[in-house]
Amino acid sequence: MNDDKITVAMAQIAPIWLNRDATIAKVVDHIESHESSNANLIVFGEALIPGYPFWLELTDGARFNSPLQKDLYAHYLDQAVQIELGHLYPICLAAKKSNTAVYIGIIERAKNRGSHSLYCSMVYIDKQGKVASVHRKLMPTYEERLVWATGDGNGLQVHSLGAFTVGGLNCWENWMPLPRAALYAQGEDLHVAIWPGNYKNTHDITRFIAKESRSFVISVSGLMRPSDIPSTIPHAEEIIAACHNKFLANGGSCLSAPDGQWIIEPQCEQEGIYLATIDHHKVRQERQNFDPAGHYSRPDITQLTVNRTRQSTVNFIDDN
């Protein structure tokens, strides 16, 4: 096999909504499936484990002191991922067994922030099954701010994958020029954008980032239908009654080449694994006339400073 080439897989799936363990089991099945067995990297959507907070826009999520909102937040907290407790171990084991790196979106219950606030995090698990980075979303969007805290720069990291250097961002972070620039400066040439779903989010920005960075760009979305709302979650009847569309998230996963041409056009309204083999030679061709962190940058005039310290509210100094 050409050392310049890797195979990437986009896993566009629905969660077992607001059920952490069942969704993790579904993710493991897709990592180990025949369709993704030859992939060097498999990517899942934003907030997939245990799911995106779709109830907010359906149930007056901004109503202060609402018992309904408090119930749902408490349930969300219970079903969130605590990495320190080993919740991601089945996925790490599957990645190691399959020799496949994984990008996946989780709702993180962060121990170093008291364990009662939630972060929309993008986790990279390498081929050895190690959690190599956890990127907490820098700025939640609109109603997301009612349940997600703001993240920090610790996860603005890239990783070697064959000939490629891979990095990524959550959802509308991909519109933020400076986080993109932070990844470009580290040599990123395979950019991963994860989304809760919807064609409207992925069809323009995927190709735009590819052209700006002269990199391959993979956008992976989740999928969500009213029928995916379990009757067992708190206030399920109210949430289902407020659903008036066929899809809460209709997918839109896609893959662009560094020249902005589609390799896989946006895929909508169905679950599936979509694979493609990409060639790093194409990156090197396109960088000939534009390299945003190299010969087409002017660090003598403009520079970016990035704070990658994991933020916490306290630093303990112990005498021991």
Contact status, residue 306 vs residue 153, Cβ threshold 8 Å: yes
Q: Are 13 and 46 in contact (CB under 8 A)?
A: no
pLDDT reported for residue 39: 96
The pTM assigned to this predicted structure is 0.96
Q: What pLDDT, on the 0 to 100 scale, is given for residue 232? A: 94
Parent domain of 40: 5-286
**Known catalytic residues?**
46, 137, 171
Which runs of consecutive H residues, i.e. helices, occur in 116-248? 177-184, 199-202, 205-213, 236-241
What pLDDT is stored for residue 1 in this prediction?
46
First to last CA, the chain: 54
Q: Tell me, what's the pLDDT at 37? A: 82
Across residues 276-297, what is the average pLDDT?
Answer: 97
Segment 247-273 shows an average pLDDT of: 97
Percent of the chain with pLDDT over 90: 95
Residue 192 to residues 19, 147, 168, 210, 246, Cα–Cα distance (Å): 25, 24, 4, 11, 27
> What is the total count of domains within the chain?
1
What is the structure's pLDDT at 220? Answer: 98
- For 63, counting Cβ atoms within 10 Å of its Cβ (0-12 exposed, 13-18 middle, 19+ buried), the class is exposed
> What residues contact residue 101 under an 8 Å CB cut-off, 6+ apart?
40, 41, 42, 95, 124, 125, 126, 127, 159, 161, 166
**If you average pLDDT over every residue of the chain, what do you get?**
96
CA distance 162 to 158: 13
- pLDDT level of residue 315 (50, 70, 90 thresholds): confident
Structure tokens at 41: 């990297």
pLDDT at 180: 98
CATH code, domain carrying 100: 3.60.110.10
Say whether 109 sits in a helix, a strand or coil: strand
Closest CA to 51 of 28, 31, 22, 29: 22
pLDDT in tens, 10-19: 999 999 999 9
Q: Is 228 exposed, middle or buried (0-12, 13-18, 19+ CB in 10 A)?
A: middle
DSSP, collapsed to helix, strand or coil, labels residue 177 as: helix
Instruction: Answer whether residue 140 is part of any domain.
Output: yes
**d(Cα 50, Cα 80) in Å, to the nearest integer?**
6
Number of residues that this document lists for the chain = 320
| Res 238: pLDDT | 96
pLDDT at 295: 96
pLDDT digits (tens, 9 = 90+) for 135-194: 999 999 999 999 999 999 999 999 999 999 999 999 999 999 999 999 999 999 999 999
Has residue 307 been placed in a domain?
A: no
